Structure 1
């Protein structure tokens, strides 16, 4: 095949944002404003996290998306985020990670029984802390935290956890809803913890925002337990797809308006205000 006849080789789309809401808004708007319904590949990088491990969000974007998800009978943002990190249990544990892990082990059978179709193969946090084999009884997060700063010069490749398991997940089934998130790594830096996640595919409409929020909450938990700030979250997605809703669906309008307002540049002060601000 000649070079001229080769199909287009797409470059990654890189989106930088100061919140999970902005990352979602910029991604959604890019798909809506370009041909097709996919971005392949997509790389997101988010910072702007608070000193107290707060996860900044735009309330208008979040509310508009949750309202649309409810209208389309999809799981809300918090429910999707919970599959990656159980924030409510962490709040109940009051900063005690042993209690968090204990609470989750107790609750997981209920989560699976509540929705056997979606959760029959497991949940992301379950794979991270109940993988089924490995040190710390398969609790990959506890292994990472127990080894962190245990001695000088610990290799950084140690701080990684997987959710994909070839033994359970290599299947010829045409459609599988789990696991799309494959891998997470944690990189302590001078600025704080940098967390990296990789998705093979991702559903932009009903999963992406919750995915970003859950990953940010997981990263904040790990940073808290390491005693360092949360500096950045990077998410690489092989194929990001806008499915289960069409671009022309009129129900999208409030979400689109909120997304555009979220990414709009802050208004510049008028010339008179600039002059007034100058010292006499």
Structure 2
């Protein structure tokens, strides 16, 4: 079994390190199990690198990284809203239209965050629940690990207090592949007033999705922290199965720092 754990300061460095851990001679399939990527400053990345990566993605028919990131956190919409309540309300109003687009038929990750299909057809705003719980705990006894954004349905009723943001819905998401690959989001409140996040993916495609997912998750973590009046901490992403997909010969020059990507 091939596995690894890397810790880097920013999104770009973490993504490069993870890809290089997968791109090894003794790992011809370029896959790993139970991989861990930790990013200490998930709001930072190299804009020049991202532009180069987007150029190669476009040449292979993939959407921009910002599009991938926005499925996890709609940063442009959030900037136009006064708080998380308005953000959730406006996104829910757009959700039916968004799900008509190719690739969104089964929903979006942020849609599951603010409009989770709960029991008895109830729609659950998990974003507000987590923010309010963090805000309350920060003013009193700090519970370190009581803030879950789950992507897998734990079976809780809609009338019960939740600390989960569920993405995977039991009984609804039955496909072996595709949405949702993200299974669970967990938030921890440090004694220093910083919020740290851990994300669990059942599978992660490094070229197609991972860089954009790191961006979106970091922005979601920062937004939740800011709305709760707390600091933004580290992001840890775990994948049950990780794969370095895509045009590896075209990726290697940037992964090794030997030149620009060749689209």
TM-score (norm 2): 0.82
Report the equivalent of 2:146.
158
Q: Is contact 2:142-2:189 (8 Å) kept?
A: no
In 2: Cα distance, 1:83 partner to 1:57 partner: 18
Task: Give the secondary-structure state (helix, strand or coil) at the position aligned to 2:106.
Answer: coil
Query: 1:246 and 1:57 mapped to 2: Cα distance?
Result: 22
Q: What is aligned with 2:20? A: 29
Equivalent in 125, 134, 149 of residue 110 of structure 2:
125
Give the CA deviation at 1:189: 0.4
Partner of 1:147: 133
- Which secondary structure does the structure 2 equivalent of 1:231 belong to? strand
Q: Which has the larger radius of gyration?
A: 1
What residue number does 1:113 align with?
Answer: 100
Q: How does 1:248-263 map to 2 (within 5 A)?
A: 248=249, 252=250, 255-261=251-257
Question: Structure 1: which 5+ residue stretches go unaligned?
Answer: 1-8, 50-54, 263-280
Structure 2: which 5+ residue stretches go unaligned?
A: 151-166, 259-263
Q: Name the residue aligned to 2:156.
A: none
CA contact (8 A) 2:31 2:243 kept: yes
TM-score (norm 1): 0.78
Structure 2 distance, partners of 1:150, 1:91, is 24
Pick the structure with more helix per residue: 1
* 1:61–1:259 contact (8 Å) kept in structure 2: no
> Out of 165, 172, 186, which is 1:168 matched to?
172
In 1, Cα distance between equivalents of 2:168 and 2:19: 27
**Superposition map of 1:228-239 within 5 A:** 228-239=230-241
Deviations 1:139-169 (A, max 9, x none): 1111122223436346544310121111111
Rounded Cα–Cα distance in structure 2 between residues aligned with 1:246 and 1:137: 41
Q: Partners of 2:124 and 2:223 in 1: how far apart? A: 18
Please, which of 214, 224, 227 is the counterpart of residue 226 of structure 2?
Answer: 224
**CA 1:193–1:154 in structure 2 vs 1: closer, same or farther (change >3 Å)?**
closer
Aligned length: 235
The CA RMSD over aligned residues, in Å, is 2.1
Higher relative contact order structure (alpha carbons within 8 Å, sequence separation ≥ 6) = 1
Asked if 1:70 corresponds to 2:58, the answer is: yes
Which is richer in strand? 2
